Amino acid sequence: MQAGAAGTAESAAPSPDAKAGGLTTALGVGQICSWGTLYYSFPLIAEAMGAEFGWPKFHLYAAATLGLVLAALATYSVGVAVDRGHGRWVMGLSSLGAGILLILWSQVDSLTSFYLLTAGVGLLQAATLYEPAFAVLARRVGAAQSRRAITTLTLWGGFASTVFIPLIQWLMDHWGWRDTLIVLGLVNVLLCATAHLVFIRPERDCISTEPGAAFLQIDLDRAAVHEAVRRPVFWALLLALTVYAAMFSAFTFHMYPMFIERGMNTAAVVQAIALIGPAQVAGRILISVFAARASMRVIGSVVVASFPVSFGALLWVDAAFWPVAAICVTYGAANGIFTIVRGLVVPEMLTRHAYGAINGLLTVPTNLARAAAPLAAALLWSTTASYNSVLIGIIVSAIVLAASFWLAAWLRRKPGRL
């Protein structure tokens, strides 16, 4: 009788998908809009501002670097705050603040105000992009059960560049960069902030918010963090994710002017870049359908090999649309799959506890690399007057990424305590 009752109770318990409910959809909408407005918009807006004000490329990308450095410094604190049940206010108020800063950015007429506002936008990325959203989902369903929810969230986020790069280009062509920034700001205020404040409900999380349980959880999380940083696999993953962030950021911020320099027209460049988003989504769907039970260690080991190949091919192809488009699709699929890997390596290869804190700890150097890479690429371009040198640097980064992830996978080949 007791066994039957237990079976009934177990069958009545909601599945992880049911627990996530509308949260994954709301966070997905937020990710499309946050990535599109706060991250992918910068190269297009910066190019237009540089043309109007005559500001050098170095000054433009130094502003982006400053913002991303501030984001790096905030990531650990954001992760801890989400672990403690404050994700609703962290993400909601940050989206609201980001929207206000974008609207103020539309009124910029000096380099100083440009730096201040882009620094603020960069800082708030730490509280609005994938990492805090992953941590919110991990709290809702449990880190060990979060694979499907995180994969679904990345499917949403994969459309950010596809939706917003053409949209931003259209807005700028018709209204100019100032009005475009006002539209982007309103998207954050009306869509992102609302989605986060309404749908992130800490009382529905699988982790108890009772005071006694919360204090116990804090102690467990601290112990998990201390244990994780003593393991060699943590440092191998940190190197892999840091180099990945640098590679991704350098290419994302410079692919638009890179393709223009190679002789492609603006329309062809936008079309090629817009293919990256659907390719990311397609890659994630393929993984969820054909490798739903495969470990992130195996998936990651395979996918990192494609980055040196993709960028190496880009170095040799001409400016024709179809070869460049094919490379963008290959890169997009690999990048989309690796985003899932990045979101799930902590519970699979390190520990199922303190997801937000450990992920935040890993994200500090990755965000610093993400901040420095666009500026380093701009400096390299200024020195050589060619994006070929930048592309060679990206290829070297891709090789280091593959080697360091393979090392992490080798170190984690034996089962250990999670």
Q: What does the block give as tokens for 413?
A: 């080949």
**Number of domains composing the chain:** 1
pLDDT under 70 in the chain at which residues? Answer: 1-21, 143-144, 207-224, 352-354, 414-418
**For the stretch 55-82, what's the b/e string if a residue is b when 16 or more beta carbons lie within 10 angstroms of its beta carbon?**
eebebbbbbbbbbbbbbbebbbebbbbb
Tokens 């190496």 identify what position?
312
> Which range marks the domain in which residue 56 is found?
20-201+208-411
- Provide the residue type at 273 as one letter: I
249: which residues sit within 8 A by CB, 6+ positions away? 68, 369, 370, 371, 373, 374
Is 369 a member of any domain? yes
Could you tell me how far CA 349 lies from the centroid of its own chain?
20
- Residue 218 tokens read as 């804090």
Measuring CA to CA, which residue among 165, 364, 61, 66 is closest to residue 173? 165
Helix (H) / strand (E) element for 16: namely helix 16-20
Q: What's the DSSP call for residue 106?
A: T
Provide the pLDDT for residue 273.
87
Three-state SS at 26: helix
Compute the residue count for the chain. Answer: 418
pLDDT at 375: 83
User: What residues contact 322, with CB distance under 8 A and at least 6 apart?
Assistant: none
Domain presence at residue 416: no
Q: What is the CATH number of the domain that holds 357?
A: 1.20.1250.20
Nearest to 36 by CA among 164, 128, 154: 164
110 is written with which tokens?
């000096």
Nearest-angstrom CA–CA distance, 82 and 92: 12
Q: How far is CA 414 from CA 349, 417, 418, in A?
A: 10, 10, 12
Considering only CA atoms, which of 338, 321, 319 is closest in space to residue 279?
Answer: 338
- Asked if residue 196 lies in contact with residue 92, where contact means CB atoms within 8 angstroms, the answer is yes
3-state helix, strand, coil in the chain (%, to 5): 85, 0, 15
Burial 282-299 (b: 16+ CB within 10 A, else e): bbbeebbeeeeeebbbeb
Amino acid in position 189:
V
Question: Per the domain annotation, does 12 fall within a domain?
Answer: no
200-256 pLDDT, tens per residue? 988 888 765 555 555 555 556 666 677 777 788 889 999 999 999 999 989 988 888
- What confidence score (pLDDT) does residue 108 get? 93
What pTM does this model have? 0.72
Does any domain span residue 84? yes
Residue 145: count other Cβ atoms within 10 Å of its Cβ.
Answer: 19
For 158, which DSSP code? T
CA 138-339-280 angle, to 5 degrees, is 125
**What are 368-377's pLDDT values in tens digits?**
888 788 889 9
Cβ neighbourhood burial of 403 (10 Å; 0-12, 13-18, 19+):
middle
Comparing CA positions, the residue from 246, 270, 244 lying closest to residue 374 is 246
11 occurs within a structural domain: no
